[in-house]
C-alpha cells in the first residue's frame, strides 16, 4: 500500500482569467490484481506489456489503484512529477525477499501469450492460492505464483544412459542378493 500526498497548488484558469488554489490531498494506492483487472476491463488490453501507456492510461491506472473513497477525478490532474515517480517506484518494487536467478526471470509472456488478469486468476485457482491474495501487491503475488510453480515441478527425468546405468546397478544388486544369474 502506498500513501501519497498531492501538495497544494496555485493554478491559472485561462478561461476565467483568475488564479485557482487547490488543497493538499492524500491518496492511498494499491498495485494489485484487483486494480489490474479494473484497468484491463476498461481498456481491453493487457496492462503487463512492454507497450508504453499513454498519459490518460497511466492516470486511469492510478485511479484504479486508489483505495481512498470519493476522490474527485480532477484531483488526478494535480499529480506532480514527484508523485508519478513515487508511484512508478512502488509499482516496480518486488515487495518480497524472494529472488530468482537470471535465467528464471522470463519476460512478461509465457508461450508468446500476454499475461492478463484472467490468466493470473487462473494460476491462482490452479495453484489453490486464496482469492484474498488478489489484494496483495501484484509483484508479490506473481512471485508467489512462480514459487508455487518451482516447488511443484516434476523432478527432471534421467537421460537414457543414466537410466540404463541405474537399472543395471539395481539388477546387479538383486542378482547378488538372491544369488541368481539373471
Tell me the mean pLDDT in the region 71-76.
92
Domain ranges of the chain: 1-182
pLDDT of residue 116: 95
Beta strands in 65-161 (DSSP E): 109-110, 113-114
Q: Which three cell numbers stand for residue 61?
A: 491506472
Which pLDDT does position 59 carry in this prediction? 95
C-alpha 142/C-alpha 167 separation (Å) is: 40
Q: Has residue 108 got a pLDDT over 50? A: no
Does the pTM of the predicted model rise above 0.85?
Answer: no
Cell of 95: 515487495
* pLDDT confidence band for 6 (50 / 70 / 90): very high
For residue 48, which of 59, 35, 66 has the smallest C-alpha distance?
35
Confidence of residue 129 (pLDDT cuts 50, 70, 90): very high
Amino acid at each position: 500500500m502506498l500513501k501519497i500526498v498531492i501538495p497544494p497548488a496555485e493554478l491559472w484558469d485561462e478561461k476565467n482569467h483568475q488564479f485557482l488554489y487547490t488543497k493538499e490531498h492524500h491518496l492511498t494506492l494499491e498495485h494489485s490484481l484487483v486494480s489490474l483487472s479494473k484497468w484491463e476491463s476498461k481498456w481491453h488490453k493487457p496492462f503487463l506489456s512492454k507497450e508504453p501507456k499513454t498519459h490518460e492510461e497511466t492516470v486511469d491506472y492510478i485511479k484504479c489503484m486508489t483505495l481512498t473513497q470519493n476522490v474527485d477525478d480532477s484531483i488526478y490532474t494535480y499529480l506532480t512529477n514527484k508523485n508519478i515517480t513515487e508511484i512508478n517506484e512502488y509499482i516496480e518494487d518486488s515487495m518480497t525477499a524472494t529472488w530468482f536467478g537470471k535465467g528464471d526471470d522470463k519476460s512478461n509472456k509465457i508461450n508468446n501469450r500476454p499475461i492478463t488478469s484472467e490468466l493470473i486468476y487462473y494460476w491462482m485457482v490452479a495453484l489453490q492460492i486464496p482469492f484474498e491474495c488478489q489484494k496483495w501487491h501484484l509483484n508479490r503475488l506473481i512471485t508467489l505464483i512462480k514459487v508455487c510453480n518451482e516447488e511443484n515441478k516434476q523432478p527432471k527425468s534421467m537421460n537414457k544412459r543414466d537410466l540404463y546405468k541405474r537399472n543395471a546397478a539395481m539388477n546387479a544388486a538383486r542378482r547378488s542378493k538372491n544369488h541368481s544369474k539373471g
